[in-house]
Amino acid sequence: MHTLVRSSLLLCLTGGALAAPLPSTTPAFFAGHRDALLSRLPAGAIAVFHSAAEFPVEVDHLYRQDSDLWYVTGVAEPEVIAILRPNAADGKRFILFVRPREFKQEQWTGWRAGLDGAKSQYAADDAFPIAEFGERFRKLAAGSTALYYRDGGDAKFREQLLGLWALEDANATQPRPVADAGAIVHQMRLVKDPTEQALMRYASALSAEAHRKAMAQVKPGHYEYDLDAAMIATCRAGGAARMAYPPIVGSGRNSVILHYEANSKRLEAGDMIVNDTACEYEMYSSDVTRSYPVSGRFSADQRAIYEIVLAAQKAAMAAVRPGIAFRDVHAASVEVVVDGLMRLGILSGDRAEIIEKRAFQQYYPHGCSHWMGLNVHDVGSYGYPEGLDRLERYGKAMTKLEPGMAFSVEPGIYIPENAAADKRWWNIGVRIEDTVLVTSSGVECLSCAAPREIADVEKAIAGR
């Protein structure tokens, strides 16, 4: 399957005549999400969503819509408010407030859908200028008994919305309920439908191809940013609007830093590289990490650590199936890491005690997995109690896996200077990460086309 995915991807990247159409969203995709949300709201409720903030023109940052608003509308431009009215007497269940078309402004900041586009492109039942939200909201919300909202991080809008909502309660014996719509939407986002799965599958295949391009740049004397640039170029050429997160290309002592982002060090023979880089496609993210030696061939010590991490990842993936608790994936990886580090003499003591007291976290300090989707660290409950320390959560995430859930599988071992008694292990960092999808029978690895086996990694670095 991986060979077929890569071949199809290469055809797409080269614009081959035989290339299948890339996956994409449709108005029906977003209408389905709206209908699902409306069916989950209490009788008489209304839902309001606000767009993400717009960055100043001087900031080198491509605008990205708030994931929740995009999930129910598909509108990618800023300054948008969506109202969902499940019991609208006039039949207008989906209302958009947008910026009107005005070329003098569009010439500076880009094309807008406008009022007509809000209806023709995004299937809104009606549309109004965003400046009119304040004067129109009370009429649109008349008769509604509860408000569910997402403010897109805009505190000023939240204050305006709640103030307008409260005006209707002036003579009421008790205020009408107000709630965060995220509690409903985020659980919906946990299970991906076929379109979402296809988008994530493509983002992951594209990211895997980018990792191959990066491996071809590995050579003493090159720089971390050479790998970074090769991956970004590949992802953009494949249709990705942006990377899913700032690329992490850390070599040598940087390989043990989990979120190292400078990507500026010269590659030195004998060092390990941890390359955590992936893109998003049509808003859906992938997350892929590969680790390999600058020299092109693993030393005995690098190989020993790498083999533990690879075995831990395979054990974690083998544990994935519907019905198991999220924590069981992490637990499977922990057992392999602990056994491996004890075998090398890096950890010592009672195995059960090491696991119970989490002594392994000095070398494996993060969880094996996190939800993925519209955000690389996506929303949705993990099912652990409130108030837990971050390092405690991984072993207590009780959410049961279901087909359609997507997450990362990313065990790692990091041995900084002075962390181990024997200097031979210092500054060896290894993380192997892939994006996976829960299926009815187990797991589908979406990004495993990126080389993982030692022989395959060494061949990719050698350009074979």
Provide the edge-to-edge strand list for the sheet that holds 406-409.
406-409, 434-438, 443-445
CA dist 18 and 14 (Å) reads 10
- Do strands 146-150 and 178-180 pair parallel, antiparallel, or not at all (unpaired)? parallel
Per DSSP, the residues of 168-199 read TTTT-SSPPPEEETHHHHHHHHHB--HHHHHH
Q: Which domains does the chain have, with CATH numbers?
A: 27-188 (3.40.350.10), 192-462 (3.90.230.10)
Give the residue among 408, 374, 384, 283 at the shortest CA–CA distance from 327: 384
Q: Could you read off the pLDDT tens digit of each residue along the chain, which spans 464 residues? A: 334 344 445 445 544 333 467 889 999 999 999 999 999 999 999 999 999 998 776 666 789 999 999 999 999 999 999 999 998 989 999 999 999 999 988 898 889 999 999 999 999 999 999 999 999 999 999 989 999 999 999 999 999 999 999 987 776 678 889 999 999 999 999 999 999 999 999 999 999 999 999 999 999 999 999 999 999 999 999 999 999 999 999 999 999 999 999 999 999 999 999 999 999 999 999 999 999 999 999 999 999 999 999 999 999 999 999 999 999 999 999 999 999 999 999 999 999 999 999 999 999 999 999 999 999 999 999 999 989 988 899 999 999 999 999 999 999 999 999 998 899 999 999 999 999 999 999 999 999 999 999 999 999 999 87
Q: What is the pTM of this model?
A: 0.93
* Residues identified as active-site: 60, 259, 276, 287, 366, 370, 377, 410, 414, 431, 433
pLDDT in tens, 369-402: 999 999 999 999 999 998 998 889 999 999 999 9
Q: Tell me the angle at which helices 155-167 and 133-140 cross, rounded to the nearest 10 degrees.
A: 40
Per-residue pLDDT tens digits for 115-129? 999 999 999 999 999
Token pair 């609208």 is at which residue? 88
What's the Cα-to-Cα distance from 457 to each of 3, 234, 293, 461, rounded to whole Å?
A: 16, 18, 9, 6
User: Tell me, what amino acid is at 267?
Assistant: L
- Whole-angstrom Cα distance, residue 138 to residue 12? 49
